Amino acid sequence: MRERLAARSMKIDNSGKKVGMVGIGGSGMRGLAYLLSQTGVSVYGTDAELEATQKILKDEPFVLLNEELLLEQLNSYDEVIFSDAVPDNHLVRLAARKNSREINYQTAVGNFARGYHVFAITGTHGKSSTCAMAAHIMVAAGLDPTVLIGAAMREWGGGHARMGKSDILLLEADEYREHFLTLNPDVIAITSIDFDHPDYFTSLEHMESAYSKFIRRRNGRGCVITLKSVQDQHAAIDWPEETVALEDQTANNLFLSVPGDHMKTNGLIAMRVAMEAGAGEKKVAGWLASYSGIKRRFEKLGEWRGMDVISDYGHHPTEISSTIQGAREKYPTKKIVVLFEPHTQERLKRFLPGFIDALKKADGVILLPVFIPRGREKSPEKGNEICAELLAGLRDEKKFIKQLSKDDDIMNILTKAADKFAVAIAFSAGDLDRALRSLWHI
C-alpha cells in the first residue's frame, strides 16, 4: 500500500487556535485532546467527574476547568467538542450551539484526520487490541505513526494517543451510531461483526449496511482487511475487489504474550495493517511477539490473598466467552470466578441467553448491578428484573453464584472469593473497574 501512496512527513501548525472539550475524561476525548495540543491548539476541558479526571490527566498538556468557568470563556473558543456522554441539554452545549461552535467528537476526529493517510480499525470486538498491536508494530518498524486509540497503551505510560511525524494516522473507527462515517480512510480493517448496540441498531442487517457505507468511504482503492470467516459470514456486505481476507487458521502459529485465540486473530489483522503501511513482512511477527497489551484488556491488577485479579472491558457475550477461554489457556488448572458488571439494560436484555452461556464457562459468577453510562439512564427496577433472569439461568448449573448490591464492600467480596478461587476476572466497562483499581492505587 505504501508504494501507491506518497510517503511524506506531516507538520500541522494550529498555533493560536483555542478549543473547549466537554467530557474530556473519556478515552477517545483525552486522546484527541492530546493530539490537538501537540499541533499547537490550546485545549481547555471539563468533565462531569472533574476531580477524578484531574487526578488522571494531571500531567497532560491541557487545562481542566469546571463547567461554569468553561461556559464563561465560551466566546474565546474556536469550537467546543463534546463526547457522546454529554446530553443535548447540557448548558455548555446549548450555549455553543447558539454560536455555531458545537461539534461532536467523531466530527472532530474526522477533521483532524484530513491530510493524513488513514488506517482505520473497526469491528464489534477487538478494535482497541488490534489498533494497539498495529501501532506497536508500526513504531517498531520506524514508521512513526500518529495514533488514536480507545484504551491506554502500557508502553506509552497509559496514553491513549501518540503524535508521530509521518503521514500515517492509525485509529479506531467506532461503528456505534455509525460514528465511523465521519472518516475517509485509505485502509480499513474489520476485526469482527456481531450484532451489538441494540439501543441504535435494529438488527445484524442494519449493522452490515453501516459497514458497507463505511467501506464505500475509502479514499481511492485502498484495501479492506478482514478474516475469511468474517467475509464468509457477512456476504451481504459490499466487499470490494481490494478485500484482503486472511485465513483464520494462519493465526495459530503466532506467539503473543496475551492469551486467547481471539488475540491471535487480532494480531494477524494487525500485522497485515502494518505491512500495508510499510512494515517489513519478515519482521512483523517478531515485533508482534513483543506487544505487552493495553489496560482493561485481560489486565492483571494485582493479587488479593493469593488470587490473581484481572480487569477486562468485555461487555458482549462473545467477548466474555473468548476471554474466559483465553484464561483457561493461561490458568489451565485453576478455578476461575467472574465478577460481571452488565453494561446497559438494553444489551443485557437483548443478549441474555448469550450472557448465560458465556458465564457458564466460569467456575463461579458474582453479579453486580447494571452499569448505565451517563445520558442513557433507564428504570433501575427493569435492570433488576433482567438480572434475576440471568441468575435463574446460571443457578441451573449449580455453580458458585452471588449477587451484589451497590452497598456491598468489594474488599470483603474479594476476600471471600479468594477462599474458593485462584483467578478473578472482572468484566467491567464502568464502576467496578474503578473500584478495583483503587485497591491497588492504580
Cα Rg for the chain, rounded, in angstroms? Answer: 22
Q: 107 by DSSP, 3-state: which?
A: helix
Is 13 a member of any domain? no
Is 54 a member of any domain? yes
Is 3 a member of any domain? no
The x, y and z cell numbers of residue 357, run together, are 452461556
The x, y and z cell numbers of residue 435, run together, are 473500584
Give the DSSP H or E segment for 311: strand 307-312
What does the pLDDT average to over 16-24?
93
Q: How much of the chain, in percent, has pLDDT values that exceed 70?
A: 94
> Which of 54-68, 69-83, 394-408 shows the lowest per-residue confidence on average (mean pLDDT)?
394-408
> Which of 51-55, 62-66, 349-353 shows the lowest per-residue confidence on average (mean pLDDT)?
51-55
Q: What's the pLDDT score for residue 311?
A: 96
Is 219 a member of any domain? yes
Q: Quick check: 190 pLDDT over 80?
A: yes
Distance CA 422, CA 414 (A): 11
What does the pLDDT average to over 164-176?
95
What does the pLDDT average to over 24-33?
92
Is 158 a member of any domain? yes
Is 5 a member of any domain? no
Q: What's the pLDDT score for residue 399?
A: 75
Co-location of 98 and 119 in the same domain: no
Contact 433, 308 (CB under 8 A): no
Q: What's the pLDDT score for residue 50?
A: 86
Confidence tier at 436 by pLDDT (50, 70, 90): very high
Is 164 a member of any domain? yes
The x, y and z cell numbers of residue 24, run together, are 474530556
Q: What's the pLDDT score for residue 65?
A: 92
Q: Quick check: 222 pLDDT over 80?
A: yes
Co-location of 393 and 426 in the same domain: yes
Q: What's the pLDDT score for residue 378?
A: 55
Co-location of 272 and 306 in the same domain: no
Q: What's the pLDDT score for residue 58?
A: 82
pLDDT per residue over 128-137, tens digit each?
999 999 999 9
pLDDT per residue over 277-304, tens digit each?
999 999 999 999 999 888 888 999 999 9
Co-location of 408 and 327 in the same domain: yes
Co-location of 123 and 263 in the same domain: yes
Co-location of 269 and 317 in the same domain: no
Distance CA 441, CA 434 (A): 10
Q: What's the pLDDT score for residue 376?
A: 53
Listed residues 109, 130, 159: the one ending a domain: 109
CATH number at residue 151: 3.40.1190.10
Listed residues 73, 93, 109: the one ending a domain: 109
Q: What's the pLDDT score for residue 5?
A: 46
CATH number at residue 364: 3.90.190.20
Co-location of 130 and 178 in the same domain: yes
Distance CA 267, CA 263 (A): 6
Distance CA 394, CA 360 (A): 7
Q: Which of the two residues, 202 and 429, has the higher pLDDT score? A: 202
Mean pLDDT of all residues belonging to the chain: 90
What does the pLDDT average to over 149-173?
90
Q: Quick check: 3 pLDDT over 80?
A: no
Confidence tier at 379 by pLDDT (50, 70, 90): low
Q: What's the pLDDT score for residue 223?
A: 96
Q: Which domain holds residue 382?
A: 299-439
What does the pLDDT average to over 101-127?
95
Co-location of 93 and 168 in the same domain: no
Strand duo 187-190 + 79-82: pairing: unpaired
Confidence tier at 377 by pLDDT (50, 70, 90): low
Paired with 46 in beta bridges are 22
Co-location of 191 and 149 in the same domain: yes
Strands (E), 83-215: 102-104, 117-122, 146-153, 159-162, 168-172, 187-190
Co-location of 261 and 229 in the same domain: yes
The x, y and z cell numbers of residue 91, run together, are 448548558
Co-location of 211 and 307 in the same domain: no
pLDDT per residue over 304-320, tens digit each?
999 999 999 998 999 99
What does the pLDDT average to over 82-108?
91
Q: What is the pTM of this model?
A: 0.87
Please give the tally of structural domains in the chain.
3
Co-location of 223 and 259 in the same domain: yes
Listed residues 90, 109, 128: the one ending a domain: 109
Q: Quick check: 6 pLDDT over 70?
A: no
Q: Quick check: 414 pLDDT over 50?
A: yes
Contact 245, 228 (CB under 8 A): yes
Is 362 a member of any domain? yes
- Tell me the CA distances in angstroms from 172 to 28, 121, 381, 421, one per residue in order: 9, 5, 35, 36
Give the DSSP H or E segment for 98: helix 91-98
Distance CA 410, CA 433 (A): 11
Name residues whose C-beta falls within 8 Å of residue 310's C-beta, 6 or more positions apart in sequence: 298, 299, 300, 301, 327, 423, 424, 425, 426
CATH number at residue 44: 3.40.50.720
Q: Which of the two residues, 155 and 85, has the higher pLDDT score? A: 85
Q: Quick check: 22 pLDDT over 60?
A: yes
Q: Taking the CB of residue 66, how many other CB atoms lie within 10 A of it?
A: 12
Confidence tier at 149 by pLDDT (50, 70, 90): very high
Q: 253 by DSSP, 3-state: which?
A: helix
